[in-house]
Amino acid sequence: MARIDAAYNYFMTTYGDNIGSRYESHKKSELRDTYNKIVKANKDAPLYKLKETEDMGQFAIDIKEHANSMAVSVSNLAAAGESVEEILNKRIASSSDPNTVEAVFVGDESSNTDGFDIDVHSLAKPQVNVGNYLSPDGHSFEEGQYTFDLDIKNHSYEFQYNVNAGETNLTVQQKIVRLLNSSDVGLSASLATNSAGANAIQIVSKSTGLPEGENCLFKISSPVSWRELNTLGIDQTVQEPVNSSFTLNGNDHESMSNSFTVNKTYELTLKSPTDGPVTVGLMKDTEALTDGVNQLLTSYNGMIDIGLKYNNSHQNRTLFNEISSIAKGMQSSLEFAGIFTDGLGHLSLDAHRLSDIINSPDKASAFTTLNELKNAINLASSKASINPMAYVDKAIVEYKNPGKTLTAPYATSAYSGMMMNYRL
């Protein structure tokens, strides 16, 4: 179990921030197709025993996540249609500083696509309440049943909690944290610890900004259990909710959220205050294509790096050979399209060369090459994602009896479900 915990923690700390791409949501048919592929891969797979190494879980997770990165880059490049060429007709928003203002085009053909400048002064913030810091081993609460009231978004809730004989402050605080989080009322609760080891309940609103005519997003009170509420201190607000503040083409604006649309055409996400105006508009034809190809090559190079890493630590070249063979088999045609490879197998794009080719009579050949590369990377990502354990060190125990196989979908793809049996 400790190994599973370590693998899960590695996944969240390394890749947790990347979760949430719009290309990572799937239809039922796509999920069913993935399941069928897992079953098919398992039908004739032999029974094997994995070598217990500390980086086994990390390697499998790295493979799956980089395979997912390749799949996302393929989806991005093919979002306008099956052919890469169609991206030239797609409207893609651009931001001169995506690290502070992210832009996505959400309009249609009739939308006003005029660009604009935005200068972000401050971000929208949630309301934060932090209670009193209590000694975790102390006994500040007497045995009994207590309540407190929560007013949020024109709704009122009454929360009840019990304190049993001998329960410590930490136990009581943990009860209230669980109570608030499980209630799903738009708040997130956790325990904060100071340098002395004392704990306080921290409550953060999931919403940001302040509605007009309001002075808070939520309010906690207790006319009955006021002594216990005073002990907890969770009615104390340490950060008031505020709206985001920005200017659009020199005109001042505010928003309750850091994400909003402009003219029903651009969806903006404010990430941090800007040092000056950020220009939002549409990418030029070649700029959109170059951006998509660069993303595809970056994801490909990431998988090459994983293969090189495992080759160095385990002398296992299976993953590296399989991924690098994609570029090796297309080297001359890739160079014609402005994509070059280095000694380690990484790919890089000469944007000027690509621009010249797609604006020349030979553009059909360039797009054929780009589509072949996209499709090859898509197949490789699907295979690695379905069964990352195909690339790790293992000893074959026995082969299945041909024609009399039983389906155990996750046996050969343990990390599809993020689980691993090390006692096999």
The dihedral of CA 66, 71, 75, 78: what is its sign?
Answer: positive
Res. 413: pLDDT tops 90? no
Q: Is-contact 191 201, C-beta < 8 A?
A: yes
Question: pLDDT tier at 36 (50, 70, 90 boundaries)?
Answer: confident
Residue-wise pLDDT for 219-234, tens only, equals: 999 999 999 999 999 9
Query: What's the confidence (pLDDT) of residue 420?
Result: 40
Q: How far is the C-alpha of 289 from the C-alpha of 203, rounded, in Å? A: 45
Q: Is-contact 299 23, C-beta < 8 A?
A: no
Question: pLDDT tier at 340 (50, 70, 90 boundaries)?
Answer: very high
Query: What's the confidence (pLDDT) of residue 58?
Result: 76
Please tell me the number of Cα atoms within 13 Å of 207 on its side-chain side.
13
Q: Which residue has the higher pLDDT, 194 or 424?
A: 194
Q: Which residue has the higher pLDDT, 113 or 135?
A: 135
DSSP-assigned states of every residue in 156-197: EEEEEEEE-TT--HHHHHHHHHHHHHHHTSSEEEEEEE-TTS
Query: What's the confidence (pLDDT) of residue 44?
Result: 66
The predicted model gives 162-189 an average pLDDT of 94
What percent of the chain shows pLDDT beyond 90? 48
Res. 321: pLDDT tops 80? yes
Among 108-117, 261-270, 271-280, 406-415, the least confident range: 406-415
Q: Which residue has the higher pLDDT, 394 or 140?
A: 140
The SS3 call for residue 17 is helix
What percent of the chain shows pLDDT beyond 70? 81
Q: Is-contact 306 66, C-beta < 8 A?
A: yes
> CB-based contacts of 335: which residues, under 8 Å, 6+ apart?
none
Among 43-57, 202-216, 363-377, the least confident range: 43-57
Average of per-residue pLDDT values in the chain? 83
Among 198-207, 233-242, 281-290, 405-414, the least confident range: 405-414
Question: pLDDT tier at 81 (50, 70, 90 boundaries)?
Answer: low
Res. 180: pLDDT tops 90? yes
Query: What's the confidence (pLDDT) of residue 422?
Result: 40
The predicted model gives 334-338 an average pLDDT of 93
Among 424, 420, 411, 422, which Cα is nearest to 8's? 420
Among 45-49, 240-244, 291-295, the least confident range: 45-49
Q: Which residue has the higher pLDDT, 390 or 41?
A: 390
Greatest distance between any 2 Cα atoms in the chain = 84
Query: What's the confidence (pLDDT) of residue 219?
Result: 96
Q: What share of the chain is helix, strand, coil (3-state, %, to 5)?
A: 40, 25, 35
DSSP-assigned states of every residue in 260-274: EEETTTEEEEE-S--
Q: Which residue has the higher pLDDT, 401 or 10?
A: 401
Neighbours of 27 (CB within 10 A): 8
Query: What's the confidence (pLDDT) of residue 13?
Result: 53
Q: How far is the C-alpha of 241 from the C-alpha of 255, rounded, in Å? A: 12
> Which domains are assigned to the chain?
2-92+285-416 (no CATH), 109-124+243-282 (no CATH), 128-239 (2.60.40.4390)
The segment with the largest mean pLDDT, out of 53-57, 175-179, 308-312, 409-413, is 175-179
Q: How far is the C-alpha of 331 from the C-alpha of 340, rounded, in Å? A: 8
Query: What's the confidence (pLDDT) of residue 403?
Result: 66
Question: DSSP assignment, residue 131?
Answer: -
Q: Is-contact 369 377, C-beta < 8 A?
A: no
Tokens (6 digits) for 49: 């025993």
